[in-house]
Homo-oligomer: A and B are copies of this chain.
Amino acid sequence: MKTRLFIVDDHYLVIEGIRSLLQQEEDIEWMGHASNGESCLAFLEKDEPEVILMDISMPGMSGIELCKEVKKRYPGIRILGLSTFNQRSFVEKMIESGANGYVLKNASKEELLKAIQAAKAFKSYLSFEAVEALRNHTEKEVPILTRREKEVLEQIAEGMTNQEIGEKLFISSTTVDTHRKNLMMKFEAKNVAALIHLASKAGMI
């Protein structure tokens, strides 16, 4: 019995590459692909795959949000996280959101096939690096920010003062200051300069 596979990734070359890679596999049926969460959900209304390969970082709805949504609507579908990031926080979030496994983009074809087969059998599979990421607490992780913290961070990066941010977001400047404090705690930054530097390196602004 063939495994009905669907893929969601915003990088066309990755999709086409994996498609081409799996085309020669007898036991995989390629159902199609989507380049964002919205079109993935639209596809699922018409047809239901067994396994979805899902990129984490996508424009619009993130893989984590999409994973939650898909699992809520279609609990039978197995989801494999697919990403370039081997950061603990990402792997963790994805598993928490209901993913059955996690494969890094630097995994081998064999590893990918193993993960797909495991997912089909309702088992879980984490690629080696993903397991390492979960084990390795020492590795510097990208902090997970709340909606408000992200908004405040963006405004700080634009050069706005607490007062200006407060006016813009309709909150008190002291509240902005609290968010700022929390941001610096999360990033373990000494001051704004370090905060913006770290956030920028992490690709969050």
Cβ contact within 8 Å between A105 and B197? no
Interface residues in A, total, Cβ within 8 A: 38
| Distance A205 CA – B105 CA, assembled complex (angstroms) | 21
Decide yes or no whether A42 CB sits under 8 A from chain B: no
Decide yes or no whether A156 CB sits under 8 A from chain B: yes
Contact residues in B for A205 (Cβ distance below 8 Å): 197
Task: Select A12's contact among B20, B106, B156, beta carbons within 8 Å.
Answer: B106
Cβ contact within 8 Å between B200 and A105? no
Contact residues in B for A157 (Cβ distance below 8 Å): 193-194, 197
Decide yes or no whether A76 CB sits under 8 A from chain B: no
Contact residues in B for A191 (Cβ distance below 8 Å): 159, 161, 192
Cβ contact within 8 Å between B112 and A13? yes
**Chain copies in complex:** 2
Q: Which of A104, A160, A196, A205 has the most CB of B within 10 A?
A: A196
Decide yes or no whether A148 CB sits under 8 A from chain B: no
Cβ contact within 8 Å between A189 and B159? yes
User: For residue A197, which residue of chain B has the nearest CB?
Assistant: B157
Decide yes or no whether A16 CB sits under 8 A from chain B: yes
Known contacts: A13-B17, A21-B16, A106-B11. The answer to whether A158 contacts B112 by CB under 8 A is no
| Distance A191 CA – B164 CA, assembled complex (angstroms) | 13
Decide yes or no whether A14 CB sits under 8 A from chain B: yes
Interface residues of A (CB under 8 A from B): 10-14, 16-18, 20-21, 23, 35, 84, 104-109, 112, 156-161, 189-197, 200-201, 205
